[in-house]
Chains A and B, each alone.
Chain A
């Protein structure tokens, strides 16, 4: 069974700062998902990636398959980016279960 670890647990940043959230997993995967959850709100899927790098607006996600590690970067952070960011490992190979990290709570201060 995959173990998914995220760091840091909590992150406070000043508006405009570059932010990095890390995710590592223990078992090879078919895909890695990054999700965003606002307080009391639903979950939004940000990225699904199996190799390399993806970019959407100010968000960038990278994955290193050999090192079993992924990062989510936010450039020019803004208070509206304040949310919990969750990574989830998709084991594939007949498994239908996502294994989730515990999330990183990001607060961006004006």
Chain B
């Protein structure tokens, strides 16, 4: 039972580069959620995806951020042209059903540092 796998655990990018964060949901889970935790702040919802569909992206910044959950492979959170303010911990969670009816399983997070 591998749980939710996120990689990399730590990612360092220079300003202007692209960051790709991966999330493999728990086996049997087809719903994926991304959250961001800025330093000294609480977690904030970013986006909710099912296989090949974005269900709710109301928490995503309008520019530079995108997410996908293809039919095969992990969910990807992509940040283009990173800036210092993107430095944060990004967590992924998965659930069996939408709205976490049976609870959420969280990953260990990816800590992004922009230098």
A contact residues vs B (CB 8 Å cutoff): 30-31, 33, 35, 40-45, 48, 86, 88, 90, 92, 94-103
A42 touching B42 in the complex, CB below 8 Å, given contacts A90-B99, A90-B100, A96-B56: no
A101 to B111, CA, bound (A): 20
Give the size of the chain B interface in residues (CB under 8 angstroms).
25
**How many angstroms between the C-alpha atoms of A42 and B111 in the bound complex?**
10
* Alpha-carbon distance between A92 and B99 when the two chains are bound, in angstroms: 6
Take A33-B103, A42-B107, A43-B106 as given contacts and tell me if A100 and B48 are in contact as well, using a CB distance cutoff of 8 Å.
Answer: no
Tell me, yes or no, whether B115 is within 8 Å of chain A by CB: no
Q: Is B16 an interface residue when CB atoms closer than 8 A count as contact? A: no
> Is A41 in contact with B108, judged by CB distance below 8 angstroms?
yes
Q: Is B98 an interface residue (CB 8 A)?
A: yes
A-B contact pairs, 19 of them (CB 8 A): A33-B103, A33-B104, A42-B91, A42-B106, A42-B107, A43-B91, A43-B93, A43-B108, A43-B109, A45-B104, A45-B106, A48-B100, A48-B103, A96-B33, A96-B45, A96-B98, A98-B100, A101-B42, A103-B42
- Let me know if B84 is at the binding interface, CB within 8 A: no
A100: chain B residues within 8 A (beta carbon):
35, 42-44
Distance in Å: Cβ of A57 to nearest Cβ of chain B: 17
Other A-B pairs beyond A42-B107, A98-B104, 13, CB < 8 Å: A33-B104, A35-B106, A42-B91, A43-B91, A43-B93, A43-B108, A45-B106, A86-B43, A96-B56, A96-B98, A98-B35, A102-B41, A103-B42
Which among B41, B98, B104, B109 has the greatest number of chain A C-beta atoms within 10 A?
B104
Give every chain A residue within 8 A of B98 (Cβ-Cβ): 96
Residue B55 CB within 8 A of the other chain: yes
Q: Is the CB of B105 within 8 A of A45?
A: yes
Report Cα–Cα, A13/B31, bound state, in Å: 38
B99 touches A95 (CB 8 A): yes
Q: Nearest A residue to B59 by beta-carbon distance? A: A97
In the bound complex, residues from chain B placing their C-beta under 8 Å from that of A92 are: 99
In the complex, A1→B45 CA distance in Å? Answer: 13
B104/A97 in contact, CB under 8 A: no
